[in-house]
């Protein structure tokens, strides 16, 4: 099921499917490693409810919900997604790298 990044709860893990943002925002996201197939974890929401912070490619990235709405993701790490995060993957590539 495809949802957008802003709909994810704190602590959930997901994988990026597509980015619908355009222009500078899209370029920024791409440059920061927000590309198709990358896995990430939602860390927290700012005290006032926006922006949000995610852990991606080994660093922490914050982005506004407005921007998160343009990023389509699919949840991982749940029963039935067919892609368990096994220990081997994690060890070799970091949790984001496995496929």
Partner 1 sequence: MGENKTITVALAGNPNSGKTSLFNELVSGNQKVGNWSGVTIEKYEGTIKHKDYIIKVVDLPGTYSLTAYSPEELLARHFLIEDKPDVVINVVDGTNIERNMYLTSQLMELESNIIVALNMFDEVEKSGNKIDIKLLQRLIGSHVIPTSAVKKTGINSLLDHVVRVYEGEIVIAKNKLSYSDRIEGEIEKIKDVLELQRELKDCYVPRWLAVKLLENDQEVYKLVKEYPVWTRVERILLDLIDALEKEDSDDAEIMITEDRNAFIRGALHETVIYAESKKKTLTEWIDSVIINRFLGLPIFLFIMWSVFQFTFTLGEAPMGWIESMFDYISGIAVIVIPEGILQSIIVDAVISGVGGVIVFLPNILLLFIALSFLEATGYMARAAFVVDKIMHKVGLHGKSFLPMITGFGCSIPAMMATRTLKNKGDRLVTMMIIPFMSCGAKLPVYVLLISAFFKPSIAGNVLFGIYLFGIAVAILSAKLLKSTLFKGESEPFVMELPPYRLPTLKSILIQSKHKAEMYLKKAGTIILAASILIWVASNYPFSESIETKYSQEISIVKQEQLLNEEAKQFKVNALELAQASKQLEYSFSGRAGKLIEPLIRPLGFDWRTGIAIITGLAAKEVVVSTLGTIYSMGEVNEESVDLATKLQDDPNFTAATAMSLMIFVLLYIPCLASIAVFKQEAGSWKWIGIYSAYAMSVAWIASFGVYRISLLLGFGN
**Residue selected from 8, 29, 73, 76 as contacting partner 1 according to rule CB under 8 A:** 29
**Which residues have CB under 8 Å from 76's CB, separation 6+?**
13, 14, 15, 39, 83, 85
12 near partner 1, rule: CB under 8 A: no
Residue with Cβ nearer partner 1 (11 or 80) = 11
**β-bridge pairing 52-56 and 13-19:** unpaired
Stretch that binds partner 1, among 1-9, 44-52, 72-80 (CB under 8 A): 44-52
* Smallest distance from partner 1 to CB 28, Å: 4
Contacts of 52 by beta carbon, 8 Å cutoff, 6+ apart:
5, 6, 42, 43, 44, 45, 46, 62, 63, 64, 65, 68
Residues 56-85 within binding reach of partner 1 (CB under 8 A): 57-64, 67
Return residues touching partner 1 (CB under 8 A).
18-19, 24-33, 35-38, 43-51, 53, 57-64, 67, 87, 90-94, 97
């Amino acid at each position: 099921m495809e949802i957008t990044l802003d709909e994810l709860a704190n602590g959930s893990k997901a994988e990026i499917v597509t980015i619908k943002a355009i222009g500078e925002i899209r370029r920024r996201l791409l440059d920061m490693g927000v590309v198709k197939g990358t896995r990430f974890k939602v860390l927290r929401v700012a005290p006032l409810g926006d922006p949000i912070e995610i852990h991606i490619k080994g660093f922490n990235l914050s982005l506004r919900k407005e921007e998160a709405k343009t990023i389509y993701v699919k949840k991982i790490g749940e029963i039935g997604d067919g892609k368990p995060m096994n220990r081997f993957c994690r060890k070799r590539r970091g949790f984001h790298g496995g496929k």
